[in-house]
A = this chain, B = another copy of it.
Amino acid sequence: MAIKLYDLCGAERARRFSPYCWRIRLALAHKGLAVEAVPWLMTDKAAIAFAGSTTVPVLVDGERSVADSWTIANYLEDTYPDRPSLFEGAGGRAASRMVAQWTESVVHTGLARFVMLDIYHHLDPADRDYFRRSREQRVGATLEAFCADRDRHLESFRKSLEPLRRTLGLQKYLGGDHPLFADYLVFGAFQWARAISPYQVLEGSDPIAKWREQMLDLFDGLARKAPGYPV
């Protein structure tokens, strides 16, 4: 029985845009594990209550269910040790935690300013009120006000990516000469933006854009073939 992944979708069921779910889609492909990625609406808390979670990703592997992207990645690494490693050692696992925290506090926070309103327009009508209410409370502004003048935030966002840019100037991937979970952590953020918004968050000449192209090509274009906007 294939692994099942509850995966956030929009009004179009094929449009998958959770950065946390994308990490796991790529981690599963890295491990060579087949997956049924079940479309899930963010208000359908009942569908994942069995896993003790209110958010996705939720992974079901036979009798076991696992929630939270970090926990899932560790579960996959430890349950399938004979398949390609996501961390390549204890040091990689530990340091990936820092990459995850950097991604969430810098990249997710920065991108939210550009894509939040575009997300709203792609949501299933059932999710719209919930999304608007919860996000407006989080950011302290209407979605429209939060994303107005987004151009004004573009330069500082691009500058905030400097640690990633410099690293990719020194090695092909965060994993070294091939991608590891650290790459999927960061790429999930860009795939989130790409899935949901036509806004160009990177300059084409940016080394990060080149790396993103490589990431889009992985696993027979898994991320590139998914519904999204050209980048």
Chain A residues in the interface with B (C-beta under 8 A): 85, 87-99, 101-102, 104-106, 162-164, 166-167, 170-171, 173-176, 180, 182
Contacts and interface: CB of A to CB of B under 8 A. Distances in A.
A174 B92 contact: no
A174 B94 contact: yes
Residue from A162, A163, A171 whose CB has the most chain B CB atoms within 10 Å: A163
Contacts of A104: 166
A187 B94 CA distance: 16
Copy number in the complex reads 2
A228 to B, nearest CB: 25
A94 B180 contact: yes
A166 B105 contact: yes
Contact of A163 (B87, B88, B101): B101
Contact of A91 (B166, B171, B180): B180
A166 B182 CA distance: 16
A170 B92 contact: no
Given A101-B167, A163-B102, A90 B93 contact: no
Given A106-B163, A166-B105, A174 B98 contact: yes
